[in-house]
Structure 1
Amino acid sequence: MTHSSEFRFLHEHAERVNRLAPLPKVERKSVLAPSGRRVSALVSNDPLARGTEPVVFLHGAGLNAHTFDATVLALEENTVSIDLPGHGRSDWRDDADYSPTTVAADVAATIASLTSGDVHLVGQSLGGLTAAALIPLLHSRLRTVTLIDITPGFDPARDATDVSHFISGKRVFASYDEMVDRAIAFGLGSDRAALTREIALNARERSDGRVEWSHHFAQLDGLDAAASGPEAQRPFEGLWQHLASLGARVTGVRGAAGLVTDQLQSEWRNRLPEAEMITLQGGHNVQEAVPAQLGFCIRKIVLA
């Protein structure tokens, strides 16, 4: 196991999801995409895996692959958790364009390098939109696609103002504790120990002793880069058709207090009548709020 310090919280995550079995083997992998940029990922081989196809996880804006650590342990399947471009240990883009359709090519190349055969794709927030953008590139290999607390009806200018302000409204902190305080104030969780673990793997100490986020979004003005597209009012409109092409193989998972409103859920049902929408407790970051329940939900989807 490489970079052992980044896996130091796995035993705590296992306790959180009541996993008593031995932990999976987790390794950090890096892929050089055709663009010349490197994409990093966590590859987990679980001794309890029953399915034959790996589950690929894509995180939301301002997070990284470790946000799914507890969910992966609860899932008990082989997984690949990718650091999206501009996040975690993946390279930043010079143009700072992290829209789903822009980063899809590098993510698809990473999936192709780290897996063989069919895969199950799970994406949360920006990762969910990226999963939808990947459908034309991976269509023949996709067993299922699951979107967590996001739909293509999402409008960043309307629906993500709090998330945007949290990510870029304050960029430098006196300590990790101050970052945790800010996360609690923005309603991103109430479990201080859990938030401390998440932030420890998503921030870095500067040479002056202060702390900053390690993702590129923290250096940008809001989430404009994620919202860019030809349709200013509905920037992700084209992703609906990608999801419709998979029919019943698509599932939505909504946080009861998340960003998918009743209106967005209604649009999902009208646009994707074959695709189920499941509601779990928690806010936008469902994978951090209820990782055991999310892991069980995904297990039912991939083993169906």
Structure 2
Amino acid sequence: MTAHAALDEFAFLSDDARDQGAAVPSVRRERLELDGDRSLSALLFGGGRPDAVFVHGAGLNAHTWDRTIIDLAAPALAVDLPGHGDSSWREDADYSPERNAEAVIRAIEHWAEAPVTLVGHSLGGLTAIHVAALRAELVAHLVLVDVLPGIGGSGRSALAPFYERLEFGSVEEVLDHAVAFGLGGERDKARRGVILNTRTRDDGVVEWKHHMARILSESAPDSRPLDIDDDRDARALDSLTIPVTLVAGSRGLLSAERIRAFASARPDHDAIVLDAPHNVQETSHLDLARAVRASLSGRN
């Protein structure tokens, strides 16, 4: 299986930076070998070892953070979760937050300057909670992007109908499909995400790069995803003694009541609500970058 012909995965960065009135960051793709002949892929932005680490949600990849990291204007690490982007797929289809945390811990140890500000969106946020619970010395501040324990199933059920179709004749067909489901925003904006999240096989068929498409689809024979243990995620979050910031989208998956409950749970919790859908990082990237920057400056 191959990527799109003649595609430079960083080709969109200069346009993004221009639109955002920012400098184009230096970036390179890195790979880390894991147990069982698997590998973890990530993007390293800027020079030196970063102390800001970003973990994407289900069905996305490290490039979902491009705009946020451009606005951050600081060294950063964006990880492709197992089964996503350029990271290896798991035969057991275990992409639970606890299992994903093992890989993210390895990534922080290998590439970052701990303790880090760990930023996680959706499934990546639940994963980040377990990273902080398992290895407290690696995380100084946790930023959860439109996720709290208890909503994992909501996001999964919403995606399942979208992935009933797994193969397409062209990128334009994938775009038609995404726009029909209201994903990715306007067509021109959705194009970038579709190109970076699909690949063209040797037979010319375009398919999703991530394994979640196949394990969420009833039309594929792959193993079904394991259920997310909401109680375990909640206990892990409650065990944390570090500052936690929630950045929620006003049109995302969290209700106003859930956000208020989170904010009142502990005095070191912060809750920020932005005018954004679930993928806050792709529409309100500047405000999200400011929240991440505040967490970094607060401990320097």
User: TM-score normalised by the shorter chain: which range applies?
Assistant: 0.7 to 0.9
Which SS does the other structure have where 2:117 is aligned? strand
Q: Which residue of 2 aligns with 1:67?
A: 64
Alpha-carbon distance between aligned partners in 1 of 2:160 and 2:19, rounded to the nearest angstrom: 29
Q: Which residue of 1 aligns with 2:161?
A: 165
Question: Residue by residue, what CA displacement relative to the aligned partner does 1:5-34 show, whole Å, maximum 9, x if unpaired?
Answer: 111111011023221x3x222111111124
Say what the alpha-carbon RMSD is for the aligned residues.
Answer: 2.4
How far did residue 281 of structure 1 move?
1.4
How far did residue 54 of structure 1 move?
1.7
Name stretches of at least 5 consecutive residues in structure 1 with no aligned partner.
230-234
Alpha-carbon distance between aligned partners in 2 of 1:96 and 1:159, rounded to the nearest angstrom: 17
How far did residue 257 of structure 1 move?
0.6
Alpha-carbon distance between aligned partners in 2 of 1:185 and 1:282, rounded to the nearest angstrom: 20
Alpha-carbon distance between aligned partners in 2 of 1:222 and 1:263, rounded to the nearest angstrom: 32
Q: Which residue of 1 aligns with 2:247?
A: 253
Alpha-carbon distance between aligned partners in 2 of 1:164 and 1:86, rounded to the nearest angstrom: 17
Question: Residue by residue, what CA displacement relative to the aligned partner does 1:169-222 show, whole Å, maximum 9, x if unpaired?
Answer: 221122212222222232223332221111111101123323110111111135
Give yes or no for the alignment of 1:197 onto 2:200: no
How far did residue 96 of structure 1 move?
0.7
Q: Which residue of 2 aligns with 1:88?
A: 85
Alpha-carbon distance between aligned partners in 2 of 1:196 and 1:98, rounded to the nearest angstrom: 26
Alpha-carbon distance between aligned partners in 2 of 1:210 and 1:34, rounded to the nearest angstrom: 31
Alpha-carbon distance between aligned partners in 1 of 2:113 and 2:287, rounded to the nearest angstrom: 28
Check conservation: 1:53, 1:120, Cα contact below 8 A.
no
How far did residue 261 of structure 1 move?
1.7
How far did residue 237 of structure 1 move?
1.8
Which SS does the other structure have where 1:256 is aligned? strand
Give yes or no for the alignment of 1:56 onto 2:78: no
* TM-score relative to the length of structure 1: 0.87
Which of these residues, 271, 274, 278, is aligned with residue 280 of structure 1?
A: 274
How far did residue 236 of structure 1 move?
2.2
* Counterpart AA for 1:44: F
Check conservation: 1:120, 1:145, Cα contact below 8 A.
yes
Change (3 A) 1:185 1:267: farther
How far did residue 273 of structure 1 move?
5.0
Question: Residue by residue, what CA displacement relative to the aligned partner does 1:230-286 show, whole Å, maximum 9, x if unpaired?
Answer: xxxxx2222233333434610111111111122432442354453111111111111
Matches within 5 A, 1:215-294: 215-222=210-217, 228-229=227-228, 235-247=229-241, 249-272=243-266, 274-294=268-288
Check conservation: 1:188, 1:283, Cα contact below 8 A.
no
Name stretches of at least 5 consecutive residues in structure 2 with no aligned partner.
1-5
Of residues 236-245 and 78-87 in structure 1, the stretch that sits farther from structure 2 once superposed is: 236-245
Change (3 A) 1:225 1:149: farther
Alpha-carbon distance between aligned partners in 2 of 1:207 and 1:4, rounded to the nearest angstrom: 15
Which SS does the other structure have where 1:120 is aligned? strand
Q: Which residue of 1 aligns with 2:3?
A: none
* TM-score relative to the length of structure 2: 0.88
Check conservation: 2:53, 2:112, Cα contact below 8 A.
no
Change (3 A) 1:266 1:164: farther
* Counterpart AA for 2:32: V
How far did residue 287 of structure 1 move?
0.9
Flag as ranges the 4+ runs of structure 1 deviating above 6 A. Answer: none
Check conservation: 2:216, 2:225, Cα contact below 8 A.
no
Which of these residues, 15, 18, 21, is aligned with residue 15 of structure 1?
A: 18
How far did residue 145 of structure 1 move?
0.6
Alpha-carbon distance between aligned partners in 2 of 1:34 and 1:138, rounded to the nearest angstrom: 19
Alpha-carbon distance between aligned partners in 1 of 2:155 and 2:102, rounded to the nearest angstrom: 26
How far did residue 53 of structure 1 move?
5.3
Alpha-carbon distance between aligned partners in 1 of 2:240 and 2:98, rounded to the nearest angstrom: 18
Q: Which residue of 1 aligns with 2:34?
A: 33
Check conservation: 1:121, 1:144, Cα contact below 8 A.
yes
Which SS does the other structure have where 2:110 is aligned? helix
* Counterpart AA for 2:11: R
How far did residue 71 of structure 1 move?
0.8
Of residues 189-198 and 139-148 in structure 1, the stretch that sits farther from structure 2 once superposed is: 189-198
